[in-house]
Amino acid sequence: MDSLLSWPVLWNGLFWPLMRLVFFISVGLFIGNLIESLNWTRHVARFAEPLARRARLKDVSAASFSLAFFSGVTANTMLAEAHEKQTISDRELLLSNLFNSLPTYFLHLPTIFFIAAPFIGSAAVVYVGITASAAVLRTGTIVLMGRFLLPPVPEGCVPCRLDEAPDNRGNPLQKTLKRFRKRLPKILYFTVPIYILFFLLRHYGIFASLQQFMSDNVGLLSWLPTEAVGIVAFHVAGEFTVGLAAASALLQDASLTTHTVVLALLTGNVLSSPMRAFRHQFPYYAGIFRPRMAARLIVVNQTLRATSIAFVAVLYAVFG
């Protein structure tokens, strides 16, 4: 293990990633505040208005859904601002964040596909198609939950308040800068120390030990062929591309079928995602939301995500 105090370790593992994280959070915060100051949420929300109408979500949630196709940070910042102003409740914040799982997935879909395709060829189409189906299923579930968990809208009203008169008082840029200067220090107050803590945990092998424990305890996967269990173990212990490399080698020598490889990758996805999501998401989530709410959002989000992928994986195993 390299010395913690060496400059390459600190720069590559802490300073540069933290600078990038703070930069993108700042850009997302500024854009979110500017859109709100200009009252563009009324127009952006129109893209998601039909779904939000059925889920009884407000305009800010619909706008966040639309923006999540381009920037997850901006979408979450918009929700956090609305929650802080008590425009949306804890329950609606939770549902709105979950509602964004579909655009968040499609934001990363091209990267996922073009990484997977060179390794596993046509199996990449199947894998991406199944995970995309899981994202659609999650969104449909949230719409149904909104119908039952959020208060009904008065008759004759539209859940997305698109027809309200905009507030044009004051200079939008000045209002944006004022909110930006007020909000950014709060974000940094939580983000920086949490990111440093996670850097130390990663440097001293805590996360690696947890991932190794998960990869060593795959007895529950006895239903998979031994070679496929290897793909799952590589997926959990390493990065996504490590599992893909193992899958590629087994496909090339015909040790496994496309069907089995896709099931192994889906299983590895379910087992590895919670740890990676918490490790990568929590530092920036805790900067945007309150730490307790950030942890709650991640736990619920990953639980729903894992459940939906497991569900479509079972359907693929039975009917694929």
Q: What is the pLDDT of residues 110-132, one digit of tens each?
A: 778 887 888 888 898 999 999 99
52-75 mean pLDDT: 84
CA 97 to chain CA centroid, Å, is 9
Residue 14 lies in a domain: no
Of residues 212, 233, 216, 214, the one with CA closest to residue 224? 233
Angle at 242 between CA 241 and CA 243, to 5 degrees: 90
* Tens-digit pLDDT profile for residues 78-109: 899 889 888 889 999 999 999 988 888 887 78
Residue 21 in any domain: the answer is no
Token pair listed for 204: 């001293």
Domain-located, residue 13? no
What pLDDT is attached to residue 125? 92
More confident position, 305 or 154: 305
> What's the pTM value of the predicted model, to 2 decimals?
0.71
Instruction: Name the residue among 299, 224, 236, 295 with its Cα closest to residue 270.
Output: 236
Within a domain: 269: yes
Whose tokens are 């900067």? That residue is 287
**In a domain? residue 82:** yes
pLDDT at residue 162, as a whole number:
41
20 found inside a domain: no
Residue 199, pLDDT > 80, answer no
Taking 70 as the threshold, does the pLDDT of residue 3 lie above it? no
Confidence grade of residue 193 (pLDDT, cut at 50, 70, 90): confident
Supply φ then ψ for residue 2, to 5 degrees. -65, 150
Domain contains 12: no
The answer to whether position 1 is within a domain reads no
User: How confident is the model at residue 134, as a pLDDT?
Assistant: 94
Domain span at 142: 27-163+170-319
Question: What pLDDT is recorded for position 254?
Answer: 67
CB atoms within 10 A of CB 253: 8
**For position 94, what pLDDT does the model report?**
94
The total number of structural domains that make up the chain: 1
